[in-house]
Structure 1
Amino acid sequence: MKKSDVIEFYARLAADNPHPETELEAGNPFQLVVAVALSAQATDVGVNKATRALFEEVKTPEQMVALGEEGLKRHIKTIGLFNTKAKNVIALSEKLIADFGGEVPADRDALETLPGVGRKTANVVMNVAFGAETFAVDTHIFRVGNRTGLARGKTPLAVELKLDKATPAPFRLHAHHWLILHGRYVCKARKPECWRCIVADLCAYKPKTPPPATAARAT
């Protein structure tokens, strides 16, 4: 995608949604780390349902350790892989207490030392909690980057690095939110809704998906 098209691409997404936010619910950086860790292979909606009661009770790593693994499992049993995730959340809480004074570090490398926290999770926390210009490449961003031609790559890291290089200054802070939401609600995996896409003319994807009525008449 040409530089001028990249600027126009982001400008349209920004005009449509000037202040995008994560759809995960969290009241502080610790709750955010937990929510993002729980969201792997799960929907934000499902995570929010499970964590609302949990986060009323647990707001700090110390409270999470006091709750314990079995107590945590009772809250998150509706989330996929909840046994492994419960173990990781307790372990990361213990590490936050032991190594970081119970505070979530504002450093990506430090975040990645926490059990169950990979680069994507660390990037989300750095962006949402600390305002860093990071690009958390999930399945939505990976798809949008490759499909549109904005940032093509064979791995999430390759897409992340290309986004980091291609995304101009005015759009860097919110870029990954715009791309996630675009992939979640418009540029969908099985059938992108090109007919209502505000950046369709800038996108490399072909053939564009026609409106449902048009598609029905064609058959």
Structure 2
Amino acid sequence: MNPAKRREIFARLQAADPAPTTELHYASPFQLLIAVVLSAQATDKSVNLATRHFFPQHGTAQGLLDLGLERLTDYIKTIGLYRTKARNVIRTCQILVEQYQGEVPHDRAALEALPGVGRKTANVVLNTAFGEPTIAVDTHIFRVANRTGLAPGKNVLEVERKLEKFVPPEYRLNAHHWLILHGRYICIARKPKCPQCGINDLCEYRHKTPA
């Protein structure tokens, strides 16, 4: 795919959604961090349904420590891998309180050192909470990047590196959100909605869904 076509793809995505953002509900960088940790192998909707019951009263690192592991586990039991996630969240809160005065560090290495926080989660926090032009590659973005020919790669890190290289600088801050939403609602896994796709004519997918 040539640079002009990539630029046009993002120009159209921007025109359709000028201010994209995450669908996770949060009111602070800390709440975003916790929501992203909980969203691994789970839907944003399921995470929002759970966090709305404890974020308002316990939406800080100290607040979740005061809530405790048992009660937190009960709140998030509708989310996949909830026991492991609950333990990771409590351990993360302990580290934030002890080392960062309860605040989320604006540093990749520090973020990735937190329990349950990998590269993708760190990228989301750096992008959405701190405004860095990072690109977090999840299953949706991995699929869209490969299917369209935008940034094909064999693994998520390869796709991330290619997107960092190929996405025009003026679109990089929001690229993650545009691609994830496109993959979530249009370029879906089993049967992409090609007739409804605003970048259909630019996409290099060979097996497009007919109208």
TM-score by length of 1: 0.95
1:71-150 equivalences under 5 Å are 71-150=71-150
Q: CA RMSD in A?
A: 0.7
The whole-number CA distance in structure 2 between the counterparts of 1:68 and 1:47 is: 18
Alignment match, 1:28:
28
Aligned length: 211
The AA in structure 2 aligned to 1:182 is H
Alignment match, 1:217:
none
The AA in structure 2 aligned to 1:99 is Q
Structure 1 residue 65 displacement after superposition: 0.8
Structure 1 residue 161 displacement after superposition: 0.5
The superposition leaves residues 176-216 of structure 1 with CA deviations (integer Å, 9 ceiling, x where unpaired) of: 000000000000000111111111111110121012xxxxx
Structure 1 residue 122 displacement after superposition: 0.4
The whole-number CA distance in structure 2 between the counterparts of 1:136 and 1:158 is: 12
The AA in structure 1 aligned to 2:194 is C
The whole-number CA distance in structure 2 between the counterparts of 1:59 and 1:192 is: 37
If you compute each CA radius of gyration, which structure gives the higher value, 1 or 2? 1
The superposition leaves residues 129-179 of structure 1 with CA deviations (integer Å, 9 ceiling, x where unpaired) of: 000000010000000000001111111111000000001111011000000
The whole-number CA distance in structure 2 between the counterparts of 1:195 and 1:109 is: 42
The AA in structure 1 aligned to 2:69 is E
Structure 1 residue 100 displacement after superposition: 1.4
Structure 1: gaps spanning 5 or more residues? 212-219
The whole-number CA distance in structure 2 between the counterparts of 1:207 and 1:142 is: 17
Structure 1 residue 125 displacement after superposition: 0.4
The whole-number CA distance in structure 2 between the counterparts of 1:54 and 1:155 is: 35
The whole-number CA distance in structure 2 between the counterparts of 1:30 and 1:106 is: 11
Structure 2: gaps spanning 5 or more residues? none
TM-score by length of 2: 0.99
